[in-house]
Amino acid sequence: MSCGFEEDLTAYVDGELPPARREEVTAHLDTCAGCRSTHALLRNTVARLAELPAYEPSSATRRAVMAKLDALPVPWWERLRKWLRPVVLVPSLGLAAAVGVALLLAGPGPDAPPELEDPAVMELAANLEVAEDYEVLGLDSAEDLEVVANLHELEATP
């Protein structure tokens, strides 16, 4: 085991040696019985490992993982987007408005509000109130935001 080539024999079997070193090892195998025997053993081992029975993963894992994803805490912007949905008339516009709000909440937003069709401008205005309340009240938790969103939802109901 004191032969300096021994360390390279697995990489040699795996085809992971640089070409120059590979040639050196090939030449060395002709002269070193110890390495020849170790090389044969390693090559045989790698071949036998391929015969191991396949591992059959559980078919229940997918559902378990998806359930765990559902249980993850939802980021506040995702929740905001969901709360805003009942307030708006058209879901896609609501989404756009929510993105606008998210931009405003995220810090220094664009100077001008995004250009939208009339109903959308109205929605955006309604949602801007949420953003304003958020800033005025100095709310920082998602739960507080939910309260504010629900207040507006109540106001929107006739």
Partner 1 sequence: MSAVDLDSDAQAMLKVAAGDRQAFAWLFDRYHASVARFAFRFVGDRERAEELTQDIFVKLYRHAGAYKPTARFKTFLFRVATNHCLNEVRRGEYRVSHTSSETPEGEETGAVEMAGPEGDRPDQALAGRELEQVVGAALGDMSARERAAFTMCRFEGMAYRDIAEALEASEAAVKSLIHRATLAVARRIEELQAGTAPARSRA
Is residue 12 involved in binding Zn ion (CB under 5 A)?
no
Q: Which of 3, 23, 34, 46 binds partner 1 (CB under 8 A)?
A: 46
In angstroms, give the least distance from the CB of 157 to partner 1: 29
**Residues numbered 13-52 forming contacts with Zn ion, rule: CB under 5 A:** 32, 35
For Zn ion (CB under 5 A), the number of binding residues is 4
Q: Which residues of 34-64 are buried (b: 16+ CB within 10 A; e: fewer)?
A: ebeebbeebeeeeeeeeeeeeeeeeeeeeee
CA distance 124 to 103: 12
Q: Is 5 helix (H, G, I), strand (E, B) or coil?
A: coil
Tokens representing 112 are: 């001008």
Q: Name the site residues for partner 1 (rule: CB under 8 A).
A: 7-11, 14, 16, 38, 41-42, 44-46, 48-49, 51-58, 61-62, 64-66, 68-69, 72, 78
